[in-house]
Copies of this chain bind each other. A is one copy, B any other.
Amino acid sequence: MAVKAQVLYDFTAEPGNNELTVKEGETITVTNQNIGGGWVEAKNSRGQVGLVPEDYIEIQKVLAGGGGNVAVPDLSFFDAFAPTSASSSHQQCLSLVLVYPQKADTTLLQASNGSDPWSVWNADTTGNAANSWAAKPEGTETAKAASNWDSSGQGHLQAYQGPGTADDEDWDDEWDDMKTGGYTESEAGEGGAMNRGGAHGSSMKIALNKFPGFSKSGPELYLLGKLPPKGKDKIPVYLGEVGPVWLYPETQIDCVVADPKKGSKMYGLKSYIEYQITPSNTNRPVNHRYKHFDWLYERLLDKYGSAVPIPSLPDKQVTGRFEEEFIKMRMERLQGWMTRMCRHPIISNSEVFQLFLSYKDEKDWKMGKRKAEKDETVGVMIFSTIEPEATDLDPIEVEQKCEQFSRFTRAMDDGVKDLLTVGQEHWKRCTGPLPKEYQRIGKAFQNLSSVFTSSGYQGESTLTDALTAAGKTYEEIATMVAEQPRKDLHFLMETNNEYKGLLGCFPDTIGVHKAAIEKYKEGDKLVAAGKITTQDKTTMARRISTMSYALQAEMNHFHSNRIYDYNRVMQLYLEQQVKFYETIAEKLRQAHARFMTM
């Protein structure tokens, strides 16, 4: 018994997920309502069958009379999430994340996203950067927008399709695990209606409550609390040549993310990708799905986020035009993320990271997971494990250093965004109008050559052959120009994109330090009011000094990585650019040689 349904919102199928693309207003036949997980199976008028989110359609009832009014579900609920004090540009960005199924916002999204898939990215990069830094809770939208950038080629220019069409292959069972983490009440209410939206949003979760431990209690928990005894978790800070540094292991772990394989579940209706991760210390490959990476990210964020900026995972909403492209792109970015984690002495040495890299069997994994999720040394409490082997710093000096790092990361964030904007425009030109123009030049030469061939005049084959060759050379140049960005700009953009994501985490990390300094500054008042003792204030100063050593060690870690990364990326970029121009020059030299000297 076929059930008809009307499509309420456009939905674009994720490649390879057995989904069905449908358009608003389209009538489809629901072939299976019992799929579960928020999906139904449906067939369109062309006979194509696939999964469609049940929120996106309305089962048709035969109406007694009048026009078939489509009932738009009451989504006013989502308005509660819309920030009221944020600037309009923020509002728009947040809308993208939070309010996507709402009709008006979808329109807005389409208007701003429009034919240019880069516009969302632009809105972020060209907007007042200070804004996203000033309003801390929204700060992480930066990291989110950062990941929307996609540079694996022309085909990827449609990367950001907006939340209405994007999805992760894992979403459907993601909320099975969802309540195990540090989710707070503000999200609890989402359950039903937001299941699809809620499944997406690591960035949303961060936006609302990045540091659950911290937000509950503020920095006081560490500054004034009774600290647990230090276990084997101790994180020493040494004084190196450049100042405070983390303890670096003698050999750095590295890992290779490779060999993505498709798995399936729900009787083959839904599929997912498993990536193979081979760490250099064990050389034993383990398999993980994106959701495992996401779990790892959440644990690292909870535990180390106050001391170490943990860059977001490659965005789930980044999607390729073809499934293969999408998988390749995600793998490349997961590799980048893992490499960065491996390079970090604290992260790579952490129990949870090692658990991820040394997956033995399901039982061991589940046990490790449970343990990690129960870890109480999260949020600001991470500072209780830090042991600086240096004299205490004066709080004024702490504040100055904190300000300096804040200024630097903000300035670098601007610089990186600027470069990304420029690079994105250059990419568009190199893959769009420029090669077309070279192609047309090439065609024009060849065209003229073929006219000349028809002259009937003797002995002009040298000219016509040379003209044809010159024309073909410009066509080759067109191809080279179009392919070049993948060879050089891609890596430059990816690196800067990664840094943009990383820099987007700094306001949160630095914010923890600023809040602690503010708390210390209130010290005298609190002492006078009898809320804390003088001893407490001294303890606060000492602990702020510890925090500062951690921040300095982290900044020095950041700087040394940055210098390495930028040297490397610039070398690669320029090397490829040189090759590019040399090849063109050589091709033209050959074309030139064919014309007769007179």
Q: A residues touching B (Cβ–Cβ < 8 Å)?
A: 241-242, 404, 407-408, 411-412, 414-416, 418-419, 422-423, 425-426, 429, 433-434, 437, 440-441, 443-445, 447-448, 451-452, 454-460, 463, 466-467, 470, 555-556, 559-560, 562-564, 566-568, 570-571, 574-575, 577-578, 581-582, 584-585, 588-589, 591-592, 595-598
Give the oligomeric copy count: 2
A contact patch SS: helix
Cα distance, A556 to B458, chains bound together (Å): 10
Q: Find A454's partner among B411, B448, B566, B595 (CB 8 Å cutoff).
A: B411
A418 near B447: Cβ-Cβ < 8 Å: yes
What residues on B are CB-neighbors of A404 within 8 Å?
Answer: 456
Q: Find A470's partner among B560, B568, B574 (CB 8 Å cutoff).
A: B574
B570 near A466: Cβ-Cβ < 8 Å: yes
> How far, in Å, is A564 (CB) from chain B's closest CB?
6
> How far, in Å, is A244 (CB) from chain B's closest CB?
12
Nearest to A446 among chain B residues (CB) is: B415
> How far, in Å, is A507 (CB) from chain B's closest CB?
16
What residues on B are CB-neighbors of A559 within 8 Å?
Answer: 455, 457, 460
B458 near A408: Cβ-Cβ < 8 Å: no
A451 near B415: Cβ-Cβ < 8 Å: yes
What residues on B are CB-neighbors of A455 within 8 Å?
Answer: 408, 559
What residues on B are CB-neighbors of A408 within 8 Å?
Answer: 451, 454-456
* Nearest 5 interchain pairs by C-beta: A574-B592, A581-B585, A457-B559, A419-B444, A415-B448
> How far, in Å, is A500 (CB) from chain B's closest CB?
12
Nearest to A419 among chain B residues (CB) is: B444
A/B interface sample: 30 pairs, CB < 8 A = A241-B458, A242-B459, A408-B451, A408-B455, A411-B451, A412-B451, A416-B448, A418-B444, A418-B447, A419-B445, A422-B440, A422-B444, A423-B444, A429-B434, A429-B437, A455-B559, A457-B559, A460-B559, A466-B567, A467-B566, A467-B570, A470-B570, A564-B598, A571-B592, A571-B595, A574-B589, A574-B595, A578-B585, A578-B592, A581-B581
A437 near B422: Cβ-Cβ < 8 Å: yes
What residues on B are CB-neighbors of A459 within 8 Å?
Answer: 242
Q: Find A447's partner among B415, B426, B562, B566 (CB 8 Å cutoff).
A: B415
Cα distance, A121 to B142, chains bound together (Å): 47
B437 near A419: Cβ-Cβ < 8 Å: no
Cα distance, A414 to B467, chains bound together (Å): 16
> How far, in Å, is A566 (CB) from chain B's closest CB?
6
B592 near A575: Cβ-Cβ < 8 Å: yes
Of A241, A414, A459, A571, the most chain B CB neighbours within 10 A belong to A571
What residues on B are CB-neighbors of A441 within 8 Å?
Answer: 422-423, 426
Cα distance, A115 to B412, chains bound together (Å): 39
Cα distance, A130 to B4, chains bound together (Å): 57
A429 near B433: Cβ-Cβ < 8 Å: yes
> How far, in Å, is A465 (CB) from chain B's closest CB?
12
What residues on B are CB-neighbors of A457 within 8 Å?
Answer: 242, 555-556, 559-560, 563
Q: 13 more A-B contacts (CB under 8 A) besides A455-B559, A578-B589?
A: A411-B454, A422-B444, A434-B434, A457-B560, A463-B566, A567-B598, A570-B592, A571-B595, A571-B597, A574-B588, A574-B589, A578-B592, A582-B582
Take A411-B454, A588-B577, A591-B574 as given contacts and tell me if A419 and B433 are in contact as well, using a CB distance cutoff of 8 Å.
no
B574 near A458: Cβ-Cβ < 8 Å: no
What residues on B are CB-neighbors of A443 within 8 Å?
Answer: 422
Q: Find A570's partner among B423, B434, B568, B595 (CB 8 Å cutoff).
A: B595
Q: Find A568's partner among B426, B555, B564, B598 (CB 8 Å cutoff).
A: B598
A567 near B585: Cβ-Cβ < 8 Å: no
> How far, in Å, is A111 (CB) from chain B's closest CB?
25
B567 near A463: Cβ-Cβ < 8 Å: yes
